Structure 1
């Protein structure tokens, strides 16, 4: 090979590495705290909804927290559904929210809580945390180690982060 061909190949390789390092894929990211475990993610678009469902450790009934991806890459909680009043569960809605009881469940609707991120500890025993995305449930313990704490946020991932991480939608 001549010098010109080698230079063109080198430039192409550098260009490919640069392109692969640019964050392009927006995702819900579950980034483990305090460990070197792989991140898990779900590719999303602005306006997509997702839910976190878990079994309450005291009541042993399901709790469903509903979220939406905002235009500013934040997370908006818009609804909470639970079955039991008691420790850790709200007794009423806050200002501007709607509290309803239907079919033995309590609903807090019209929530407008905005988070840049939140932390979640993946349950080891009873909680059985699941993400519901597009009407399908994905157990987080299949993609993340039970018992670890994760930071949940919306961010753009580059090719290398996607490659090293676990796409929750493909983990079943």
Structure 2
């Protein structure tokens, strides 16, 4: 009888441990390799559901800021700001968007561009891609090798996945 009780307790402990380690429970901004689902790094989500990606444009060498909001498993681009009209930068707003210029910076606001994920190649020379979340700036090249093509998405991680991947510093 004692052996059966010990076996039952061990099975319960094993079951609870498995749940703790392998049950997805932590919402994060996940950074994976673009062409596979392998987790490179992550930023834990707290209360805020918005983040920005800031980088230096490779041609005109000025700062660009893209603002996003998380909604379900979607990423919605809400704003874009930049200093120069050049290759790759829009010259006006579309649809319900609003185009503004303030102090030499151009803004496209009221954007509602929905994506399941965002693909980014981490700059090797000048881009210096940064992810900004809750006023904390994460320089992506410090956690991910420059030149790597990554995919940014919202994801729920297990404790095991959190231990295996690096938290972006």
Residues 1:126 and 2:131 aligned together: no
Q: Secondary structure at the match of 2:120?
A: strand
Residues 1:48 and 2:49 aligned together: yes
Residue aligning to 1:29: 30
Contact 1:83 1:106 in 2 (8 A): yes
Q: Distance in 2 between matches of 1:117 and 1:73?
A: 9
Q: Distance in 2 between matches of 1:75 and 1:38?
A: 18
Residues 1:77 and 2:77 aligned together: yes
- Pick closer, same or farther for the CA change 1:166–1:91 going to 2, 3 Å: same
Structure 2: state its 5+ residue gaps. none
Contact 2:31 2:39 in 1 (8 A): no
Residue aligning to 1:108: 108
Residue aligning to 2:165: 165
Contact 1:98 1:108 in 2 (8 A): yes
Question: Shift of the alpha carbon at 1:35?
Answer: 7.5
Q: Distance in 2 between matches of 1:35 and 1:111?
A: 29
- Pick closer, same or farther for the CA change 1:45–1:136 going to 2, 3 Å: closer
Residue aligning to 1:148: 148
Q: Distance in 1 between matches of 2:38 and 2:27?
A: 20
Could you state the TM-score of these two structures normalised by the residue count of structure 2? 0.91
Cα RMSD after superposing both structures: 1.9
Question: Shift of the alpha carbon at 1:48?
Answer: 1.3
Question: Shift of the alpha carbon at 1:89?
Answer: 0.3
Q: Secondary structure at the match of 2:132?
A: strand
Q: Secondary structure at the match of 2:11?
A: helix
Q: Distance in 2 between matches of 1:37 and 1:144?
A: 13
Question: Shift of the alpha carbon at 1:38?
Answer: 4.9
Question: Shift of the alpha carbon at 1:151?
Answer: 1.0
Structure 1 segments, 4+ long, off by >4 Å, are: 34-38
Question: Shift of the alpha carbon at 1:119?
Answer: 0.8
- Pick closer, same or farther for the CA change 1:85–1:56 going to 2, 3 Å: same
Question: Shift of the alpha carbon at 1:15?
Answer: 2.2
Q: Distance in 2 between matches of 1:45 and 1:99?
A: 31
Residue aligning to 1:93: 93
Task: Report how many residues are paired.
Answer: 168
